[in-house]
Structure 1
Amino acid sequence: MTLTKKDKLWYGFIIVAAILPCIPGVIGGGSFFGHVATMVLLYAAMAQSWNIISGYCGQVSFGHSVFFGIGAYAAGLAVVTFETLPWYGVPLGMLAAALVSILISYPCFRLKGHYFAIATFAIVEIFNRLFMIWDAVGGALGLDYPILPDGWENFSWSDTKTGYYIGALAIFIVVFGVVRWIERHRMGYYLLAVREGQETAESLGVNSTIVKLGAMALSAALAALCGAFFAQYNYRVDPPMVMSLDMSMKFVLITILGGVGTFWGPFLGALVLIPLQEYTRAYLTHFGAGIDLIIFGIIIIVVMIKEPRGIMGLISYFKKDKAEEGAKS
């Protein structure tokens, strides 16, 4: 099988990312770079899960923090309430998120365009308030993890980032691998057909309702997987932390910055936003809270004015310019 340029870039990235933990002092220990690298991989995977339904299928959702939160709470309940391993909560959280996504999306898909987006905004607020008053899941106080022995069994480490980095890399490979599969198979063409014109797709025999529900269920399950990791990494979970409009907007903005409906867009968006967020918090706190959001807002405005397709659009633009210069010479 002939490797394409995208294949070579993908395998090359995986090899480089896998080598990083082997370099002393880069990822292990209390390395701040290790924390940032872990968050880049996690947020890229989160954004890519949103990209499935909103980028490839064209159904813009602002409610993905609900599915992210379900995954986080499933892992948290497994550890805190049932005093078992988080691994048991992960598949249950993914299944629960997929089922919830189908139940709430089926009526919402009757709406189109910005009406659908507004409905997903409301869903986030509903679930946020529900979990705030639900005592079985800790209510407004959330769930605080007990001190657990380090290791893969509990997916917990107190003195190194290596395990978390490897876990985030595994999730990144799973989520991006799913999207690679979608792009190359019939499902990807169905998603693009629905995005470009639902009525036209249906006239050609595509069941748009099934396609959208399937994409939403898959997207929600992958978002829940990311949420489970997030809870383990932070050692606690509460509604404002995982089920909020702020978290939902991170899914959206990272993907928009990188390039909606593109394979590498979510990664490029996370590669810009997350280091900006983490390093400004660490080194520019004397300027006051929210300086990272101000800088990020400026970047979004500049990129959108120059190229609405995001960073991937800018890359294509410069490639085109180079090709034209080469042709002229």
Structure 2
Amino acid sequence: MSAAMGDNALTRRRRRELIIGAVLLVALAVLPLPISSVYLRGLIVLTLLYAGLSQGWNILGGYCGQISLGHALYFGVGAYTSTMLYVNLGVPPTLGMFAGGALAGLAALLVGWPCFRLSGHYYAIATLVVSQMFLLLVSNWNFVNASMGITIPFHTQSWLDLEFRTAVLPFHYVMLAYVAVVWIIAWFVEGSRWGFYWRAVKDDGAAASSLAVRIFPSKMAAAAISGAITGVGGALYAQYIGFVDPDSTLGLSLSVLIALPAVVGGVGTLWGPLLGAAVLIPVQQLSAAWLGGSGDGADLMIYGALIVVLALARPQGLVSLFGIRSQAGGGVVDRA
């Protein structure tokens, strides 16, 4: 009886999440229409991008518990792959972003193969080191124009090429579609067998292994999905700004910025990355715009102080304000 009641409660919760997600999607679709400021529209575009990126990071770092400090690597692989295919072979970015996502997922598997044999902070440090090694490689690789970067040419106004005369509003819907797809993936993952496996691995790897959970394949699957999502986001970002270079697509600060919304919003939750991005990205961008030109680092101090305050006030993330907790430990691992 209690098991049936639990299943019914879970079904109702997941159905409610879908309804809330649909309402939020409609609200975000009409959000930029009354806004005339190009800057504010661009701010919303970046917030949507990082919401999707952080949701992708949350699959590996939140549900599976493998804290990565090297997601800029997958972002950069996606950005450079899509850009090189477009510039050199004329492959439309709408196709190139899938190639970028696939290569980023492959890169995540290559990183995970040796690094998942480490645990805790050793894994996090390893991902950081690998990411910075790739940054140095690309910065000195003439095939991708080294540290000079690549400017994406504007050929035609086309949705296929993701090129528009007024780029901000169309890209709002491009990024909104990206966030929606990533959110649906996370929603399916959370209620799937893999989702239960990942949460079991996060809580207690030894106990999960005793229940026939295959630890290493579970981590590799989470890494591949997370890396592919991040790679697609990198490809979209490259097309949005029309330029890629090592510092903007492979830097350590980018890895931190991808992870922070999930950490502040609520790691291991469905809504945490969205809520965290909605708070952190506008604060970061607005403080940089208003105070960054002073040269005294006031914008970074404000941004850092906000993160500290949020971490101290809500260690479980901003989603705890709404009574939402991480799903870790909340499910039963299926042996089959």
TM-score (norm 1): 0.90
1:11 match: 22
Q: Does 1:253 align with 2:256?
A: no
**Residues 154 and 163, structure 2, Cα contact 8 Å, conserved in 1:** no
CA–CA distance in 2 between the matches of 1:70 and 1:254? Answer: 22
Deviations 1:99-149 (A, max 9, x none): 111112111111010111111110111100111111111111111111222
Q: Does 1:303 align with 2:310?
A: yes
CA–CA distance in 1 between the matches of 2:85 and 2:299? Answer: 34
The gaps in structure 2 that reach 5 residues or longer are 1-10, 325-336
Once the 2 structures are TM-superposed, how far is the Cα of residue 46 of structure 1 from its aligned partner?
0.4
**Residues 167 and 240, structure 2, Cα contact 8 Å, conserved in 1:** no
Q: 2:117 aligns with which of 98, 110, 127?
A: 110
Map 1:187-206 to 2 at 5 A.
187-206=194-213
CA–CA distance in 2 between the matches of 1:37 and 1:314? Answer: 23
2:250 match: 243
2:35 match: 26
1:81 match: 88
Once the 2 structures are TM-superposed, how far is the Cα of residue 89 of structure 1 from its aligned partner?
1.6
CA–CA distance in 2 between the matches of 1:291 and 1:169? Answer: 31
Q: Does 1:158 align with 2:154?
A: no
2:126 match: 119
CA–CA distance in 2 between the matches of 1:116 and 1:52? Answer: 16
**Residues 138 and 144, structure 2, Cα contact 8 Å, conserved in 1:** yes
Change in Cα spacing, 1:285 to 1:158, as seen in structure 2 (3 Å) is farther
Deviations 1:305-325 (A, max 9, x none): 1221121124439xxxxxxxx
Deviations 1:273-300 (A, max 9, x none): 1111222233334543643321121111
CA–CA distance in 1 between the matches of 2:123 and 2:39? Answer: 40
Q: 1:43 aligns with which of 50, 61, 72?
A: 50
2:147 match: 140
CA–CA distance in 1 between the matches of 2:222 and 2:143? Answer: 30
CA–CA distance in 2 between the matches of 1:64 and 1:285? Answer: 25
CA–CA distance in 1 between the matches of 2:86 and 2:255? Answer: 25
Q: Does 1:293 align with 2:288?
A: no
Map 1:170-319 to 2 at 5 A.
170-285=177-292, 287-288=294-295, 290-316=297-323
1:322 match: none
Q: Which moved more, 1:41-50 or 1:267-276?
A: 267-276
Q: Aligned residues, how many?
A: 313
Once the 2 structures are TM-superposed, how far is the Cα of residue 86 of structure 1 from its aligned partner?
1.5
CA–CA distance in 2 between the matches of 1:251 and 1:297? Answer: 15
CA–CA distance in 2 between the matches of 1:128 and 1:302? Answer: 32
Which one-letter code corresponds to 1:273 in the other structure? L
Secondary structure at the counterpart of residue 31 of structure 2? helix
Which one-letter code corresponds to 2:149 in the other structure? G
Q: Which moved more, 1:306-315 or 1:41-50?
A: 306-315
Q: Which moved more, 1:48-57 or 1:80-89?
A: 80-89
Which one-letter code corresponds to 2:29 in the other structure? A
The gaps in structure 1 that reach 5 residues or longer are 318-329
1:321 match: none
CA–CA distance in 1 between the matches of 2:277 and 2:317? Answer: 12
Deviations 1:177-215 (A, max 9, x none): 100001111111011010001111111001011100000
